[in-house]
Amino acid sequence: MAFQNTNKQRTNMAVYIVSYDISDHNDESSCRAAIKKFDWHEVGESAYLVSTSFTAQEIYDKLKPFVGKGKDDRLYIAEVSTATGHWKGFHTGVSNWLKS
């Protein structure tokens, strides 16, 4: 599944938090691999920050095939505002990435 932005007019990048709980190991691995096609940083066991010109809906559409087979599967995607964000415990690279 290629992650190519076909909307040439959208050039603004946004940062999103993507978090999931997926019971099937193969689906979980596939979801993680799909997330890692973005500019990403892992911030938890199954939580990532991704920078992209896609909308939250477009990210959701790319990841939803891997979520929902288990009764407790979950997927959460929301835009993050780094202008008002606070964080601690991440290495300098993640902090610099968030500030840029």
pLDDT tens digits in sequence order for the chain, 100 residues long: 333 333 333 357 899 999 999 999 999 999 999 999 999 999 889 999 999 999 999 999 999 999 988 889 999 999 987 667 777 787 788 777 777 7
pLDDT of residue 82: 64
Domains recognised in the chain with CATH numbers: 14-82+89-99 (3.30.70.240)
pLDDT of residue 77: 97
Give the contacts of 28 (CB within 8 A, at least 6 positions apart). Answer: 20, 22, 46, 66
Query: pTM for the complete prediction?
Result: 0.78
